[in-house]
Structure 1
Amino acid sequence: MFNSFLLAGFECSSHRRSDGRRLDLIASSQHDRLVEADYARVRELGLLSIRDGLRWHLIEVQPGCYDWSSALPMIEAARRHRVQVIWDLCHYGVPDFIDIWSRDFVERFADFSSAATRLLLRESGGSDLFCPVNEISYWAWAGAETGIMNPGTHGRGAELKRQLVRAAVAAMAAIRAEDPAARFVFAEPAIHVDGGDGPSEHREAAESYRLAQYEAFDMLAGRLAPELGGRAEFLDVVGVNFYPDNQWYFGGSAIPLGHHAYKPLREMLREVYERYHRPLMLSETGAEGTARPAWLHYVMGEVAAAIEDGVPVEGVCLYPILDCHGWQNERLCPVGLLSSPDDSGRRALYSPLAEELRMQQQRIGQLLDRRAASSADDSAGIRSTGRP
């Protein structure tokens, strides 16, 4: 369903930290200034589909008043360079005048989503892909359980999760009213929590924590808390975010890749598919430093195995595609395929990851070609035998 199986993800977090400082990763990575060159570069690398963000906190300057000056250069660049975009509409960032706990938050976000859809239809001329609210589960934990980002409260994670689902549901209804053909991607962390060999109560608590990763999806689909307005059609493309630290012992440290307690990614993808029977994508994945190519090699091997086993994985998004600054200490993190720009605005290519990317593009292309040929052969066989 994407223009390329491997996608480029531009980090677009725009939340306030617990100390009140507003982050804007699009600005700090200089992607706003270099969007033309960035889109051209990823297209040259065969990444024809991307994730990027419309920064709500910059756009809605007053209630109902929209300034699209930060968004239009991105929309125009995407059109010129013919890249398909999944637009994040709320990547942790909310305008300061909105109380996230209020009904106004839900209504204002629906109105913003409707206005953004009209703009995109006018400027891009076709139906778009949206990630209405990024990582509902993580935001609920970070923003209202541990207080490390806005709204900066504690012990209210379950409440915030429901509020974010309300907003996402209202946004999707508003988007579909403008564009019935719009598609939705929800990106939620895929985790594994191991209870070890301790008491049964400890293992049961670990499993309960692990299964909580599905609550947001279940709410969006109306399976859980139907009073929030979720419906089956709102769970469109199921995106899972997977990083090296997404598996850990309950109450303990991360499980290292290769350890017997480490759950293969192919099994995690199979579990998600069997639960929802919706198209899947790896909506974020990546590693830091010299681990980048090895991590992509592992992930793509597991994705290929899942596809061979019949799991409909539609794409893998390298995230972030640019080196970017850390949220807490603002150090420059070497996580991207492309570096921070030099004085002339040129980004260096991280060659080891680029080589791995080329190999994986070829490998997945061959796999998908074989799958398409097999499907065509099966269809021809059905027609020749006259079976329905």
Structure 2
Amino acid sequence: MTASVLRSFWIGGFEGADHVNGAGEPLDMAAATAHLELLNGDYLRAREHGLLTVRESIGWRLSEPAPHRHELARAVQVATAARRHGLQVVWTFMHYGTPPDVSLFDDGLVERFASFAAAAARALAPLHDEPPVYNLINEIGYVAWAASHTNLIHPYVGDPQGLGEHTEASGYDVKRRLVRAVLAGMDAVRAVDPRARFLHVEPLVHVVAPHERPDLADLAERIAGYQWQVWDLIAGRLEPQLGGHTGALDLVGVNHYHSGQWEAGTERRLRWHEGDPRRRPFGALLQAAWERYRRPLIVAETSHIGVGRARWLDEVASEVANARAAGIPVEGLCLYPLVDRHDWGDPAHWHHSGLWDVDHDTPLPRHRRLVPDYAAVLTQWQARLPGAPPLPIAPPVPEPLPESRANGVVPCTT
């Protein structure tokens, strides 16, 4: 086995969220960006820019229209196109959306997701010559918080008074349930394809007390600590009775955006473009994750908006290069999204965050426009990263499956 499970260090991510937004509008972002229609062109462009690994989403909501009826032809189509272009796909199985009869607040989700994960792995296994890499549930921490404490995901009303989004709670009960679903899904996938590797993706964040409220320092530390809950549960560091264990935490995927650093209490962001001195360097965030888990890291999502895209990538790549030089095994860096996307809550608002912008003067944005300065920085850094390979880290040894989990029963005491 080589040092990395990825075909290329540089990764391109295609937006694939499929949840129902707070206005009750079902999303299919891969279709809305015309990615499905332009699949061959998008893959050809990715390959021409040295991106031999891509992130795609299957979409649980889209792929299970009725209980236990799995429609995976679209995923097979995407996998076949990627294979034709010599690309490796890192698959997300659940990108926020669930089938309409599945609730994030119901334990029945665990078995249903495991069944879906097995079906998806069965459909994709013949199309992978190398061990497949699966992100079973994307950003558990985000979806748990959004469903529990905001009105961003239909039908959940976590903010009935409309007080606005706040980060003082984490949606912990939903996190626990989704972690149980991931653990059951890993067992189900390995039963189908023992080669499978698993990428667990969460944001890295930094939270500080406002200048005028130093008494909120403890609150800031507590909120920042929420970022570790999902990985700790998967690794069995927290509530091991849920079934987590060290062998389950395979690849640690970290997301890094400018909005991921803020003040406790006020929710004011530490503005990157204004050079807020309280911001924590990305390299320090990577070091914290490495020291906590000692597992290979992949920057699973990063990008900025508008004119800041090139400078953002230059800074992120520099931090990653320094981290690798210090011995931290960062094995990949994903530009996400590769093709621009519109806002989940407003289809008329496009973020201008992709390597390619799109023209949206037609119902589907079919024309891609390369962002020259962003592409130039990518090319410059591709000559320097990955550089010398990190030391190989063996994949974790799967824990023997307890009889209770083999039967779909997960003990829970709280």
**Would you say the 8 A contact 1:100–1:151 is kept in 2?**
no
- Cα distance, 1:197 vs. partner? 5.1
- Cα distance, 1:360 vs. partner? 0.8
Structure 2 unpaired stretches of 5+: 160-169, 393-414
Moved more, 347-356 or 66-75: 66-75
For residues 204 and 364 of structure 1, do their structure 2 counterparts lie closer, same or farther at Cα, with a shift above 3 Å needed? Answer: same
Moved more, 342-351 or 313-322: 342-351
Residue 177 of structure 2 corresponds to residue 168 of structure 1: no
For residues 151 and 306 of structure 1, do their structure 2 counterparts lie closer, same or farther at Cα, with a shift above 3 Å needed? Answer: farther
Matching of residues 23-102 of structure 1 within 5 Å: 23-102=27-106
Specify the alignment match of 1:386 in structure 2: none
- Cα distance, 1:323 vs. partner? 0.7
For residues 322 and 146 of structure 1, do their structure 2 counterparts lie closer, same or farther at Cα, with a shift above 3 Å needed? Answer: same
Specify the alignment match of 2:341 in structure 1: 324
Normalising by the residue count of structure 1, what TM-score does the alignment of the two structures yield?
A: 0.91
Normalising by the residue count of structure 2, what TM-score does the alignment of the two structures yield?
A: 0.85
**What whole-Å deviation, never above 9, does each CA across 1:210-261 have from its counterpart, x for those lacking one?**
1111000000111112222212111111111000111112123111233321
Matching of residues 223-242 of structure 1 within 5 Å: 223-242=237-256
- Cα distance, 1:198 vs. partner? 5.6
Aligned mates of 2:299, 2:155 — CA distance in 1 = 28
Letter of the 2:172 counterpart: A
Q: How many residues align?
A: 371
Aligned mates of 2:284, 2:106 — CA distance in 1 = 39
Instruction: Indicate the SS of the match to 2:35.
Output: coil
Instruction: Indicate the SS of the match to 1:267.
Output: helix
**Would you say the 8 A contact 1:10–1:321 is kept in 2?**
yes
**What whole-Å deviation, never above 9, does each CA across 1:306-365 have from its counterpart, x for those lacking one?**
111111111110001111111122212211011226779442211111101000101214
Specify the alignment match of 2:388 in structure 1: 368
- Cα distance, 1:28 vs. partner? 0.5
Aligned mates of 2:154, 2:293 — CA distance in 1 = 30
Let me know the Cα RMSD of the aligned residues: 1.9
**What whole-Å deviation, never above 9, does each CA across 1:354-378 have from its counterpart, x for those lacking one?**
101000101214x326x78xx9xxx
**Would you say the 8 A contact 2:339–2:357 is kept in 1?**
yes
Specify the alignment match of 1:243 in structure 2: 257
- Cα distance, 1:162 vs. partner? 1.1
Aligned mates of 1:19, 1:201 — CA distance in 2 = 37
Matching of residues 157-236 of structure 1 within 5 Å: 157-196=171-210, 201-236=215-250
Structure 1 unpaired stretches of 5+: 376-388
Aligned mates of 1:81, 1:312 — CA distance in 2 = 28
Aligned mates of 2:103, 2:210 — CA distance in 1 = 41
**Would you say the 8 A contact 1:14–1:93 is kept in 2?**
yes
- Cα distance, 1:201 vs. partner? 4.2
Aligned mates of 2:359, 2:125 — CA distance in 1 = 32
Specify the alignment match of 2:320 in structure 1: 303
Specify the alignment match of 1:255 in structure 2: 270
Letter of the 2:26 counterpart: R
Moved more, 188-197 or 74-83: 188-197
Letter of the 2:176 counterpart: R
**Would you say the 8 A contact 2:216–2:265 is kept in 1?**
no
Aligned mates of 1:92, 1:345 — CA distance in 2 = 25
Moved more, 118-127 or 282-291: 118-127
Letter of the 2:16 counterpart: C
**What whole-Å deviation, never above 9, does each CA across 1:46-65 have from its counterpart, x for those lacking one?**
00111111122222222222
Residue 143 of structure 2 corresponds to residue 129 of structure 1: no
Matching of residues 332-351 of structure 1 within 5 Å: 332-340=350-358, 345-351=366-372
Instruction: Indicate the SS of the match to 1:283.
Output: strand
**What whole-Å deviation, never above 9, does each CA across 1:67-94 have from its counterpart, x for those lacking one?**
2222221011011111111100000011
**Would you say the 8 A contact 2:13–2:334 is kept in 1?**
yes
- Cα distance, 1:8 vs. partner? 0.3
**Would you say the 8 A contact 2:24–2:155 is kept in 1?**
no
For residues 137 and 151 of structure 1, do their structure 2 counterparts lie closer, same or farther at Cα, with a shift above 3 Å needed? Answer: farther
Aligned mates of 1:5, 1:124 — CA distance in 2 = 18
Aligned mates of 2:130, 2:144 — CA distance in 1 = 33
